[in-house]
Amino acid sequence: MRKIDTGLPSSYSRRDFIQLGAISAATLALQNSDTVAAASHADSHRQTHAQTMIDVPYAAMNPRIGLIGTGGRGTSLLTEFLASDGQVVALCDIVPEKAEHAQSLVQKSGQKAPTLYTNGDHAYESLVSRHDIDFVVIATPWNWHVPMAVAAMKAGKHAAVEVPAALTIGDCWNLVHTSEETRRHCIMLENCCYGYNETLVLNMVQANLFGDLLYGEAGYVHDLRELMFSNAGEGLWRRAFHTRYNGNLYPTHGLGPVANYMGINRGDRFEYMVSMSTPARGLDAYRRAHVPAGDPKYSERYINGDMNTSLIKTAKGRTITLKHDTSNAHPYDRYNSIGGTKGVFEDYPPRIYFDGPNGKDAWTDIDPFKEKYESPLWKKEGEIAKKLGGHGGMDYIECARILYCMRNGLAPDMDVYDAAAWSAPWPLSLQSVAQGSAPAKFPDFTGGRWKQRNGSPIGQLS
Amino acid sequence: MRKIDTGLPSSYSRRDFIQLGAISAATLALQNSDTVAAASHADSHRQTHAQTMIDVPYAAMNPRIGLIGTGGRGTSLLTEFLASDGQVVALCDIVPEKAEHAQSLVQKSGQKAPTLYTNGDHAYESLVSRHDIDFVVIATPWNWHVPMAVAAMKAGKHAAVEVPAALTIGDCWNLVHTSEETRRHCIMLENCCYGYNETLVLNMVQANLFGDLLYGEAGYVHDLRELMFSNAGEGLWRRAFHTRYNGNLYPTHGLGPVANYMGINRGDRFEYMVSMSTPARGLDAYRRAHVPAGDPKYSERYINGDMNTSLIKTAKGRTITLKHDTSNAHPYDRYNSIGGTKGVFEDYPPRIYFDGPNGKDAWTDIDPFKEKYESPLWKKEGEIAKKLGGHGGMDYIECARILYCMRNGLAPDMDVYDAAAWSAPWPLSLQSVAQGSAPAKFPDFTGGRWKQRNGSPIGQLS
């Protein structure tokens, strides 16, 4: 298997991740430089002659699912797939108790007990090599997404991977090339694309209510300090990324929906970006306020600037402002904004403004637009989605739509090219920040096919 | 007099400005390149040996005022100065009726009729050379700010100039050097610094409620399409700038207050910026919808990207997102945001969030903070300010404070270094946009004195 450059030591154990805080500052700086150097060679990456996966339909099937990662996120996804009668035949986690709990959920749904794989970091390789699995769902720490997705595709399975799909430009290409060569899809589980407001606004954009699109704003501003300093769940690994990298460490939740509004990879594409980080203050301040003296966490040095802001330019000249801050006091915000010649939508809270009907300079509510523009996905399944509740229902809509596409032999809504493009701001922001906000180019992962492609990125449920 | 590079033909008449729309695209592109080249040589600008004007007090006086420009903005300023018993001895405008109307306002206030200067573009030179004027207030189209302020200072008068103070880095330096050499102040009339919310938040920042400051957001998003296509007022000249330049054409309203929160030129300074523009669509779309076929305005080609977004990095590593859009449907917004380790304020509408007291992720109202943190300026004069009403009262507070500083022999709140730094994003955004968002450095207009200086930029009225 091709070496995966995650910027982390290849021998590290998922369970031991948190002890990496003790690595010296010099080592971290070197790793960071390596990442930057790798990213700057993005355009010289090898070209393959494999055919595109754009608009390639799944062979119609009711997929047999293997799930890697049964922590908080994996368990939530499992619940959503089970709610759509997804068949779950195998589960993998490095913590046996978590896998067993997930197994009990499958049994409660009326299916037989799925096989468990819990024997260490590489147990997932046994899961993906089974012959009775069609679809591998991956909900593990970020740096494991690429090796697991690649292994799944190479074993003949379609893959779905949590966000972000990849952490380096080389690994973005790795996903693209592996998908093309194996003829297996690798989709990213960007649930926010299926949110109520996001699908509503996508319909309004496609009805041309905003005129010529010009700018968007996206972000992930979420106070995760308590979670990052907990001794469970993401607290076991997420904080460590803040000791290694300085940039946007979670670009896709805000960016995916805005990319869909703009038709990125469907007539437009990300061309280049610039990025700027504030100093890193929030995690250290939180530690001083909440962590007892003598705790090993005091050996960590946080280098990721608290608020990272990037500007992305598209081939059509549009711009996207992209933010990331998980280290400070701030209300949750993904921005989720789109503006054009005729009007603008902004979220958190949702509000809208159009030429004409509104009073001058007065935002109005989005409710009057819901009857006409609500997504058919939410019209059909909104009640059950809200009842299940995963992130307000978007998780159920996402999983239901994925199974619908596979069962009906459709192409996935979003594909490996979207996963690569939306993940690329992770390494490109590191590169730009390290180079004093110099512009960083996006590779064209589609090989020029974004120009001819059109149509909506989000389909329906019937 | 040193040649002033406004990027506009030196021989053009203010009255004829609108006819410049007929200039060829090639000429405009050349002018734009010249501006960029000038800006990129900012750091090599000559250094003088004149002493700084930082913290230099006015000689105490009740200043005799000469006003250049008695259009909409000049008349408003006149009203505010008269409300503080300002003595107005001379008025200048290229339109005699406008000057006469302003003259009548002075007389109505009980003062004798000020002398009028209305004989063409250079009548202001006669006004500034009078021996019975101490203070020249300039409210003319943007490209006249520098020649008029320079002439006033060289004639021994203090100057106050509308926003932006200057349009090129060379002209920013010109104001700084002229102020230092003549020992006369040149202040910029950035009224937003005296707004109710802006002075409230400044007090809260100085009381350390937000912790270590990290990021701010500023902007001028104001749908000026109707005004820009009118055949009066700013419609006579503002639109023409959109045929010549691509960048942020009005940076100071949002930026000044955020610069004050961060103590720019008082312990921190702007270091560099990157900028990105969307395509230019809004003005052409408005024209097609509202201007009859055959109108000479159809000879104009708009090149200023509708939404310009810039990121500014300060010496302390903080970041400011800066926006400009006057060409599309969008509610008025200056953003006026400041965030730190303990919390964040955002405006339009004003809302606040702190670690601790708020419910998690819930913005709260700013009203509970007003009793303790309302600016003494507004406590003392808020009633009369709101009654006069200029931009919600901020104009009166600004003018009252300027006269207070002069009458009491204080240094001005903000000085020529602030005027230069806040205006610099005009040319630096053009430069960065023209160079594919490459970073553009701010000159240090203070000559290093920003490091030692401290204290609040806004003083009191008693």
pLDDT in tens, A395-420: 999 999 999 999 999 999 999 999 99
Instruction: Please give the Cα distance from B271 to B286 (Å, whole number).
Output: 37
Decide: B309 and A319 in contact? Cβ < 8 Å. yes
| Residue among B462, B401, B383, B457 nearest B203 (CA) | B457
Closest Cβ–Cβ partner in B214, B281, B344 for A281 = B214
pLDDT, residue B360, reads 78
Instruction: Please give the Cα distance from B362 to A157 (Å, whole number).
Output: 43
Number of residues that this document lists for chain B: 462
Nearest CA in chain A to B361: A331
Cβ contacts (< 8 Å) between A352 and chain B: which residues?
A: none
Cβ contacts (< 8 Å) between A215 and chain B: which residues?
A: 278, 306-307, 309
Instruction: Please give the Cα distance from B124 to B67 (Å, whole number).
Output: 9
pLDDT band at residue B45 using 50, 70 and 90 as cut-offs: low
Across A312-321, B218-227, B388-397, least confident range: B388-397
B344 and A329 within 8 Å at the Cβ level: the answer is yes
pLDDT in tens, B318-328: 999 999 999 99
The tokens describing A143, both together, are 């740096």
pLDDT, residue A16, reads 41
A438 and B436 within 8 Å at the Cβ level: the answer is no
Q: Which of B213, B214, B221, B442 to mutate to test the interface with A (most CBs of A within 10 A)?
A: B214
**pLDDT of A37 above 70:** no
The alpha-carbon gap from A42 to the nearest alpha carbon of chain B, in Å, equals: 19
Cβ pairs A/B, distance under 8 A = 144
Nearest CA in chain A to B319: A278
pLDDT band at residue A11 using 50, 70 and 90 as cut-offs: very low
Decide: B224 and B357 in contact? Cβ < 8 Å. no
**pLDDT of B3 above 50:** no
pLDDT in tens, A141-192: 999 999 999 999 999 999 999 999 999 999 999 999 999 999 999 999 999 9
| Residue among A165, A191, A155, A199 nearest A81 (CA) | A191
Instruction: Please give the Cα distance from B275 to B433 (Å, whole number).
Output: 6
Decide: A165 and A6 in contact? Cβ < 8 Å. no
The alpha-carbon gap from A429 to the nearest alpha carbon of chain B, in Å, equals: 14
The alpha-carbon gap from A131 to the nearest alpha carbon of chain B, in Å, equals: 46
Number of residues that this document lists for chain A: 462
Closest Cβ–Cβ partner in B331, B355, B363 for A353 = B331
As to burial, measured by CB atoms within 10 angstroms (0-12 exposed, 13-18 middle, 19+ buried), residue A456 is middle
pLDDT, residue A361, reads 82
Nearest CA in chain A to B353: A330
B332 and A276 within 8 Å at the Cβ level: the answer is no
Cβ contacts (< 8 Å) between B316 and chain A: which residues?
A: 279
Instruction: Please give the Cα distance from A365 to A353 (Å, whole number).
Output: 9
A285 and B212 within 8 Å at the Cβ level: the answer is yes
**pLDDT of A13 above 60:** no
**pLDDT of A47 above 90:** no
Cβ contacts (< 8 Å) between A282 and chain B: which residues?
A: 214, 341
Q: How many CB atoms neighbour CB B137 within 10 A?
A: 29
Cβ contacts (< 8 Å) between B330 and chain A: which residues?
A: 339, 343-344, 353
Q: What percent of chain A has pLDDT over 70?
A: 89
Closest Cβ–Cβ partner in B307, B329, B437 for A274 = B437
pLDDT band at residue B15 using 50, 70 and 90 as cut-offs: very low
Decide: B118 and B92 in contact? Cβ < 8 Å. yes
Q: Which residue has tokens 């903070």?
A: B369
- Looking at every residue in chain A, the average pLDDT score rounds to 91
| Residue among A265, A215, A271 nearest A414 (CA) | A265
Cβ contacts (< 8 Å) between B439 and chain A: which residues?
A: 274, 436-438
**pLDDT of A22 above 60:** no
pTM score, whole prediction: 0.93
Q: Which residue has tokens 């005729």?
A: A342
Q: Is the dihedral of CA B368, B371, B373, B374 positive or negative?
A: positive
Q: Kind of pairing, strands A186-188 and A158-161? A: parallel
Nearest CA in chain B to A343: B329
| B96-102, Cβ contacts within 8 angstroms, sequence gap of 24 or more | B98/B70, B98/B71, B99/B70, B101/B70, B101/B75, B102/B67, B102/B70, B102/B74, B102/B75, B102/B78
The tokens describing B355, both together, are 């670690």
Cα–Cα distance list, B167 to B70, B178, B251 (Å): 22, 16, 11
Closest Cβ–Cβ partner in B212, B274, B278 for A281 = B212
Decide: A172 and A424 in contact? Cβ < 8 Å. yes
Arithmetic mean of pLDDT, B187-210? 97
For B104, the enclosing helix (H) or strand (E) is: helix B96-108
Arithmetic mean of pLDDT, B417-438? 98
More confident residue, B17 or B274: B274
Chain centre to alpha carbon of residue B49 = 27
Decide: B166 and B420 in contact? Cβ < 8 Å. yes
Cβ contacts (< 8 Å) between A285 and chain B: which residues?
A: 211-212, 341
pLDDT in tens, A277-301: 999 999 999 999 999 999 999 999 9
The alpha-carbon gap from B302 to the nearest alpha carbon of chain A, in Å, equals: 14
The alpha-carbon gap from B275 to the nearest alpha carbon of chain A, in Å, equals: 8
A279 and B317 within 8 Å at the Cβ level: the answer is yes
Q: Kind of pairing, strands B115-117 and B87-92? A: parallel
**pLDDT of B26 above 90:** no
Instruction: Please give the Cα distance from B159 to A337 (Å, whole number).
Output: 42
pLDDT, residue B87, reads 98
Instruction: Please give the Cα distance from B386 to B395 (Å, whole number).
Output: 10
**pLDDT of B19 above 50:** no
The alpha-carbon gap from A227 to the nearest alpha carbon of chain B, in Å, equals: 13
**pLDDT of A237 above 50:** yes
Arithmetic mean of pLDDT, B436-445? 98
At residue A334, φ and ψ (nearest 5 deg) are -110, 5
A341 and B307 within 8 Å at the Cβ level: the answer is no
Chain centre to alpha carbon of residue B123 = 24
| Residue among B408, B454, B27 nearest B269 (CA) | B454
pLDDT in tens, B356-414: 766 678 899 999 999 999 999 999 999 999 998 888 899 999 999 999 999 999 999 99
pLDDT band at residue A455 using 50, 70 and 90 as cut-offs: confident
The alpha-carbon gap from B264 to the nearest alpha carbon of chain A, in Å, equals: 16
Instruction: Please give the Cα distance from A274 to B79 (Å, whole number).
Output: 45
Q: What is the 3-state secondary structure (H, E, C) of chain A?
A: CCCCCCCCCCCCCCCCHHHHHHCCHHHHHHHHHHHHHHHHCHHHCCCCCCCCCCCCCCCCCCCEEEEECCCHHHHHHHHHHHHCCCEEEEEECCCHHHHHHHHHHHHHCCCCCCEEECCCCCHHHHHHCCCCCCEEEECCCHHHHHHHHHHHHHCCCEEEECCCCCCCHHHHHHHHHHHHHHCCCEEECCHHHHCHHHHHHHHHHHCCCCCCEEEEEEEEECCCHHHHCCCCHHHHCHHHHCCCCCCCCCCHHHHHHHHHHHCECCCECEEEEEEEECCCCHHHHHHHHHCCCCCHHHHCCCCCCCCEEEEEEECCCCEEEEEEECCCCCCCECCCEEEECCEEEECCCCEEEECCCCCCCCCECCHHHHHHHCCHHHHHHHHHHHHHCHHHHHHHHHHHHHHHHHHCCCCCCCCHHHHHHHHCHHHHHHHHHHCCCCCEECCCCCCCCCCCCCCCCCCCCC
Cβ contacts (< 8 Å) between B341 and chain A: which residues?
A: 281-282, 285, 306, 328-329
Decide: A396 and A80 in contact? Cβ < 8 Å. yes
Arithmetic mean of pLDDT, A431-455? 96
B305 and A317 within 8 Å at the Cβ level: the answer is yes
Arithmetic mean of pLDDT, B54-78? 98
Q: What percent of chain B has pLDDT over 90?
A: 85
Instruction: Please give the Cα distance from B68 to B130 (Å, whole number).
Output: 13
The tokens describing B114, both together, are 């000020």
As to burial, measured by CB atoms within 10 angstroms (0-12 exposed, 13-18 middle, 19+ buried), residue B436 is middle
pLDDT, residue A462, reads 81
Nearest CA in chain B to A353: B330
